[in-house]
Amino acid sequence: MTNDSETRISPNKAGRRAIYAAASLALAAFWLAAPAEAKVPSFSAACPGRVDVRADNGGRVFINGQPARLKSFNDRSYEARAGNVTVSVAVGPGGRLTVSSAARGPGNGICQVKDIRADAPRRPGNTPPGQLAAVCRDQAAQRFRLRPSDITTDNIVRRGAGYSVEGKFRDRGRTAFFRCSFDGNGRFVSVR
């Protein structure tokens, strides 16, 4: 016969283990499901190494048109990462921004803040500049009957009164190039 005291866990130990497990699970769920919301001001900046940074008011940041992971250190200091590029944003007195970038290879330094915008309502059909590359990728995927993941887009370029985004994809062993055009309000015009 086996001794029951050797195989059973006392009710006190079982209760403590359950409480520890529940507390650990709740803590993990809190950290994973509820990241701190960053209130990054709306701006655009040009950084060394042809790095383009755009932020929508409220926290969405795009680096070279790609959504960036955002880390908030406090209500005046943020860090955004996309690929191998890290951009630091510091909000000074009076809302003055200091933006710097760091990347592997060239592309480290202080960024030139081009535009700081108040939270202005957008008209329907307008695309924020930081999202133009994603819209272009989707439009090109429809036009050329590809998956968006098969398409690569480059930097957003201001051309005259509008914007353009160039991209490429593999077509029968060759690289095919295209360009998306947007008007000055961010409305999609064409893809060729």
Q: How far apart are CA 6 and CA 167, in angstroms?
A: 68
* DSSP assignment of 57-98: TTS-EEETTEE-EEEEEETTEEEEEETTEEEEEEE-GGG-EE
Residue 8: in which H helix or E strand, if any?
Answer: none
What local confidence, expressed as pLDDT, does residue 27 receive?
44
What local confidence, expressed as pLDDT, does residue 12 receive?
64
Contact 165, 107 (CB under 8 A): no
Q: How far apart are CA 140 and CA 192, in angstroms?
A: 8
What local confidence, expressed as pLDDT, does residue 65 receive?
83
pLDDT in tens, 110-125: 898 876 654 444 444 6
Q: Which two tokens stand for residue 121?
A: 């309502």
| Tens digit of pLDDT at every position of the chain (192 positions) | 555 555 555 556 666 666 655 555 544 444 443 344 457 777 888 888 888 888 876 568 888 888 899 998 888 888 999 988 999 988 887 778 889 999 877 668 889 887 665 444 444 467 777 788 888 988 898 899 888 888 999 888 888 888 999 999 999 899 999 999 998 888 889 999
What local confidence, expressed as pLDDT, does residue 175 receive?
94
DSSP 27: H
What local confidence, expressed as pLDDT, does residue 75 receive?
81
pLDDT in tens, 52-65: 888 876 568 888 88
Yes or no: is domain 42-117 CATH 3.30.530?
no
CA distances from 50 to 15, 47, 65, 74 (A): 58, 6, 12, 28
What local confidence, expressed as pLDDT, does residue 161 receive?
86
Q: Would you say how long the chain is, in residues?
A: 192
What local confidence, expressed as pLDDT, does residue 9 receive?
55
Residue type, 96: R
What local confidence, expressed as pLDDT, does residue 120 receive?
42
